[in-house]
Structure formats: structure tokens, C-alpha cells
Amino acid sequence: MDRNSRIFVAGHRGLVGSAIVRQLAETGYTDLVLRDRSQLDLTDQAAVRAFFDREEIAYVIIAAAKVGGILANERCGADFIRDNLLIQTNVIDAAWRAGVKKLLFLGSSCLYPKHAEQPIKEEALLSGPMEPSNKPYAVAKIAGITMCQAYRKQYGFNAICAMPSNLYGPGDHFEPETSHALPGMIRRFHDAKMAGDPTVTLWGTGTPRREFLYVDDMADACLHLMERYDGEDIVNVGPGEDIAIGDLAGMIRETVGYPGTLGHDLDKPDGHPRKLMDVSRLFATGWRPKIGLPEGLQRTYEWFLKNAAPPAPAQPAPAQPISHAAE
């Protein structure tokens, strides 16, 4: 990509898409094509084809998807499989037809089999049964990856796929019903602080380990791959290290300045003991994350306070324990 390349970032208002736009702009890319859902509904095939026919896009990053936490996935599986299949099929196919030079598609660490060997290597994809709670989402995303690989093989289309770990940062979703684990914790501690709750309760023992990448690092990795990687193989994108959920909760408590205690609901399941991706393929290309958890959490909480915190005095959600089981 040269700095004048015309680049379409699909989903530019989302957590990942907005970070990619920030990163592209900071790096000096000037010709960004951005459309929100009201201007271009990516589930509408005719509209997507017309858009690509018209816009002469050179590069595409697909950060548009239907994304959500455990509750949303369990309640709205039909929406997750339909919307994701439509969005990615429409964009990948129209981009290839319009002669786009290169496309980046995003999978997720949660597509790997439930009991994949740790740390999870890229080869583990489709090697065992998947986590049932997000199966519709995972099946759709794996179809997107397979589509990129098939278009590369049959049509020579330079479509690459990255597998991000859990992400967090400015632009995240903090609503108790739909958020992922980390922003859900920030919201829970914040609400408890505002309401003067004496305890925030965590599901299980807090010993399971998970990985979290700051979204600006994710955006940096996306650009790195767009500029330097042209392979068929998927590439894990993560921090390369994990943290016990109890320790993460302690860090968030400190970041938020919550004075109460952290309780554990030991009747609740712990979930998988560890979920960490092997990032040696990405690290071998010279990429490393730059922002550690303490700084990332601080920046995220500041963004939350300015943009997403409920008006004080907040009423906490009725004593909802924090769950991380499916992430």
C-alpha cells in the first residue's frame, strides 16, 4: 500500500474499525473510504456491489461484523450467523469482482476448538469441537476464512486473515447485556463505585487465564499485515501473554478506584483454565504489541468516563456476577 492508496475500512465506527482509521490516519494514509450502516448496509448485496463498482477501492479491511459477548451470542444466534455470513460474503466477493488488490478479514480466537492445545497455534482451527455458546458466530467466521482462502486459490485474490485475541480499548461496548468480559468488568466496578456497593462478585475462583490486546495494538498489527504479509495461512494476533481473571479484576478495581472488596461466587463455573494464542507466526514478522494492560486499562477507563459512563448517580445492575466463561 502506498500512502495515496484508496482504502475502504468496513465498520469504521466500531471498536476495531475506529482504531484502524486512527492508525491509518496517523501513518499518513489520506484516501480512506468510510461508510456507516445508514449509508451502506453491508448485508445488502446489490448495494455493496454498486459501491465497489463506483468507488475504485484498492484495499479493504473488514472490521464490520455482528459481534457480542456470551449473552448476546446465546440469545441471538440467528442474527449472528446471518449477518456475518452476509456481510463477509458480500464484501469479499464484491471486492474481488471490482479488482481490489488486497483484503484483510478478521476472525477471532474464539473460533478455535474448545479444548485446543495451549497456547493455540493456527493449525488448531477446525481440529476439534467448538465452544457451543458462540457456534453460529464461529461457523460464519470460519466460512469467511475459508472463502478468503478459496478465492486466493481459485482466483488469485490476495485475501489475508487475522485471528485477534480478546480486544479492549476506546470505542468498546460497556452495556451489561452485550459487552465482552473486560469492558463488562470496567462497567461493573464503576457502577459499584458510584453506588457505594461494598463488594463486586466474580464468577468462580478467578484463576482461569485469558489474554487481552489493546485495540490500537490490534490496529497496528492489521496495518503491519496489510503492508508485509501475503500468505494463505491465518495469523494469530495477540499480546503473547495471559493473565488470571482475578488479577485482571484487581487491576481494573485499581484503575477505576473502587474501594470495596472483590468476592467470588464459587457456585459458578470457572470455564476453561487457559486461553492463550501462540503468536510466534506474527512475532516472526517483527511485530510486537506496544501498550501493556495498566496503560491500556487507564486509557480505556478515561474513554469510558467521557463517552459511555451512565449519568451519576448510577444504579448498578442488580448484583450481576462477572463471567468470563466463554471468552
Ligand X SMILES: NC(=O)c1ccc[n+]([C@@H]2O[C@H](COP(=O)([O-])OP(=O)(O)OC[C@H]3O[C@@H](n4cnc5c(N)ncnc54)[C@H](OP(=O)(O)O)[C@@H]3O)[C@@H](O)[C@H]2O)c1
Active site residues: 137
Give the 3-state secondary structure of 76-123. CHHHHHHHHHHHHHHHHHHHHHCCCCEEEEECCHHHCECCCCCCECHH
Name the residue nearer to ligand X (CB basis): 47 or 309.
47
Of the candidates 312, 189, 162, the residue with the CA atom closest to the CA atom of residue 249: 189
- One symbol per residue from 127 to 166: x for binding ligand X (CB under 6 A), - otherwise; what is it? -------------------------------------x-x
**What backbone phi and psi angles, to 5 degrees, belong to 237?**
-125, 110
Residue 271 annotated in ligand binding? no
Residue 108 annotated in ligand binding? yes
Q: Which stretch binds ligand X (CB under 6 A): 35-43, 224-232, 270-278, 291-299?
A: 35-43
Q: Is residue 67 a contact residue for ligand X (CB under 6 A)?
A: yes
C-alpha cell at 151: 478465492
d(C-alpha 78, C-alpha 75), whole Å: 9
Name the residue nearer to ligand X (CB basis): 112 or 258.
112
d(C-alpha 205, C-alpha 169), whole Å: 25
Closest distance to ligand X from the beta carbon of 244 (Å): 19
Helix (H), strand (E) at residue 224: helix 215-228
Is 314 in contact with 304 (CB distance < 8 Å)?
Answer: no
Name the residue nearer to ligand X (CB basis): 37 or 288.
37
Residue from 6, 7, 8, 16 in contact with ligand X (CB under 6 A): 16
Binding-site residue set: 11-17, 106-109, 141, 164-167, 180, 188, 203, 210, 270
Task: Write out the residues near ligand X by the rule CB under 6 A.
Answer: 11, 13-17, 36-37, 41-43, 63-67, 83, 87, 106, 108, 164, 166-167, 180
